[in-house]
Amino acid sequence: MSPLVELTFEGPVAQIVLRRPDKLNALDRDMVDALAEAARTIEASRETRAAILTGEGKAFCAGGDIAAWGGLPALEMWRDWTRSGHRAFEALARLRVPLIAALTGHAFGGGLELAAVADVRVAETGIKLGLPETGLGMIPGWSGTQRLVRRFGASVVRRMALTGRLFTAEEACELGLVDEVTAPNEALPRAKTLAGDVAARGPLAVQMAKAMINAAEGEDRDAPIEGLAGALTAMTDDLAEGVAAFKGKRAPRFVGR
């Protein structure tokens, strides 16, 4: 993993921290890949029940580093930069456990798209959020026109993407972009409290509830539905009989339970 993305575990709670404060936590390719690796590591940890995502310094994340993508040819922009970001962000959005974003600083462009993968967003007063890409002649490329519309509504996204409007934390809370607003330096402690609340609840119930909410929202709809159906059939006598019949090279005797 990139040294600019730190993943730690404290009991049942994982924490991802962007550590590139001198660049406002702008994402380069190594950081994008590290976010995907962090998601895989959290997913593989059966002890983890909640996760926190935050950034060090004055910004949560200022988006994609222009130095990383500004000179890419068109096909490389699509093949490499845009698709790698989608893979990483989708892995975070589809984590088995709830993800809480602590916005301790501004979230612009890809940074807001990153915040949007979380299930809950806590923002500190004084920060701003927006999608400034069209001011650079670019469009939001990491699901700003897709996931953000599904989660926050087309009207809000239009105002940010088409006009460059920036929202304060308080305005963002009224519009549903964030869930809570705290005083300065309080977003991360509040996120930890929320993560503790999540971790104290029935882990399987929480994870299944998240999967069903994601499916209803259009986020990874197929896997949760087929996963639950597969889990249900895995508990049946018929499956045990089918496996035993296969191993014994005989016809199964199904009983419908």
Q: Where in the chain is the domain with CATH 3.90.226.10?
A: 5-199
Note the pLDDT of residue 122.
98
pLDDT tens digits along 124-164: 999 999 999 999 888 898 899 999 999 999 999 999 999 99
CB 146 within 8 A of CB 154: no
Report which of 111, 116, 112, 109 is spatially closest to residue 92, judged by C-alpha positions.
Answer: 116
CA distances from 188 to 51, 178, 180, 254 (A): 12, 14, 12, 54
Residues of the chain with pLDDT under 70: 68-70, 72-73, 75, 77-78, 221-224
Report which of 128, 105, 126, 107 is spatially closest to residue 117, judged by C-alpha positions.
Answer: 107
Note the pLDDT of residue 73.
64
Residues involved in catalysis:
113, 133
Multiple choice CATH, 5-199, 1.10.1060.10, 3.90.226.10, 3.40.50.300, 3.50.50.60: 3.90.226.10
Q: How far, in whole angstroms, is CA 242 from its chain's centroid?
A: 38
Question: What's the whole-model pTM score?
Answer: 0.90
Number of H helices, E strands in the chain: 12, 10
